[in-house]
Amino acid sequence: MVLDPKHTRQIRIDAVGGPVDLSGRTIGVSMPCPGCRYDLRGVPATSHCPECGLDITQVLASAVDPTVHRLPPLASPRAVGDGIVLTSLALASGVVLPVVGVLWAGAATVSGQMGVSTPVMESLTTLAAVLVATTGLAGCWSLKPRGAGPLQQVARRAVVLCATGCLLMVGGLVSVLIEGSWFMIGGLLAAGGGLMTSLAGLRAVLLEAGRRCRAFRTATFQRQRITPLLLATALASLALPASRVADMAGQQTIVLTLGAIGLIAASMLAVGLIYLVNNAIWIRRALRQPPPRLTELLD
């Protein structure tokens, strides 16, 4: 937050130890202006960019993040960031690829190319199972507790839940590929339960690590919360198997209704998981390159 009183020459900006007076201070490091990329080194901190006129105090306020430096440090921030991204990618792959396969199958059916859709669906579902297994377990390895810190207990629980959830998802995706309605019903339920288990484990790690990322803390529309994902997963996991049961009973009207609900919920879930991956990338970037302290930027 920048304070610029109208009747005083002092301009202060928040830092870890409190507001810092910028009077007589200059930019002491090479810092490109966000507006025009002009190097601001040597420019007075209370002035404006010589090229585009951008207020330097606003540049400094956006470059520093005192909240991050007030938080206890993580034992291995790089590993935590990698684990969040890998686990999020695994969960997204397990949903996005099968949904794309189903939509592809629907498009092929409309165009009369039924023979084209089945191999594509099988290939995408198989790829999803492989990615969930490899990427998910790699993410769990990165998230394992290392030393002391605020994530030690949270990470242990996250690893157990995420690993269990990924294995359930893999089993569910493989079951869907096996011929037989009951295999598909069991596979959908297992995949949905595994996804919910993994999301529950990832949630606490995501929130704790996300406190160290300004973009994640302050985002509104682009920040993906876990609760809507859990609700969408539950709806899709119930509607799609129920649609299959109705099909076995010959209730075509119910099949169409439940199938549409399940597909819409699964599509919304896929979009939400893509947003979750984007949030994870924000957090990883912030953990790898934490914002500088204000004193590091000034002469």
Answer whether residue 160 shows pLDDT above 90: yes
Rounded mean pLDDT of 178-188?
A: 86
Closest of 269, 248, 268, 245 to residue 258, by C-alpha: 245
CA 274, CA 264: separation in Å to the nearest integer?
16
In terms of C-beta density within 10 A (0-12 exposed, 13-18 middle, 19 or more buried), how is residue 37 classed?
exposed
| Bridge partners, residue 15, by sequence | 18
Could you tell me the sign of the dihedral formed by the alpha carbons of 182, 188, 191, 193, in that order?
negative
Position 17 scores a pLDDT of: 54
Tokens of 135: 């990427």
Which secondary structure element, helix H or strand E, spans residue 73, and what is its range? none
Closest of 132, 136, 150 to residue 94, by C-alpha: 132
Per-residue burial over 219-241, b if 16 or more Cβ lie within 10 Å, else e, is beeebbebeebbebbbbbbbbbb
Distant-in-sequence, close-in-space partners of 66: CB < 8 Å, separation ≥ 6: 14, 15, 16, 294
Position 70 scores a pLDDT of: 84
DSSP 34: T
191 or 54, which is more confident?
191
Q: 114 pLDDT band (50/70/90 cuts)?
A: very low
237-244 long-range Cβ contacts below 8 angstroms, 24+ apart: 237/188, 237/189, 237/191, 237/192, 237/193, 237/195, 237/196, 238/192, 238/262, 239/265, 240/188, 240/266, 241/184, 241/185, 241/188, 241/189, 244/181, 244/184, 244/185, 244/188
Position 138 scores a pLDDT of: 96
Residue 128 Cα to chain centre, angstroms: 18
Q: 116 pLDDT band (50/70/90 cuts)?
A: very low
Instruction: Map out the domains of the chain as residue ranges.
Output: 2-64, 77-288
Answer whether residue 291 shows pLDDT above 90: no
Position 14 scores a pLDDT of: 52
CA end-to-end span of the chain: 21
Answer whether residue 255 shows pLDDT above 70: yes
What is the three-class DSSP state of 272?
Answer: helix
Per-residue pLDDT tens for 123-149?
A: 999 999 999 999 999 999 999 887 777
Structure pTM? 0.85
Answer whether residue 11 shows pLDDT above 60: no
Position 244 scores a pLDDT of: 86
Q: Identify residue 85 by its one-letter amino acid code.
A: V
| Bridge partners, residue 27, by sequence | 298
**Where is mean pLDDT largest: 93-107, 170-184, 191-205?**
191-205
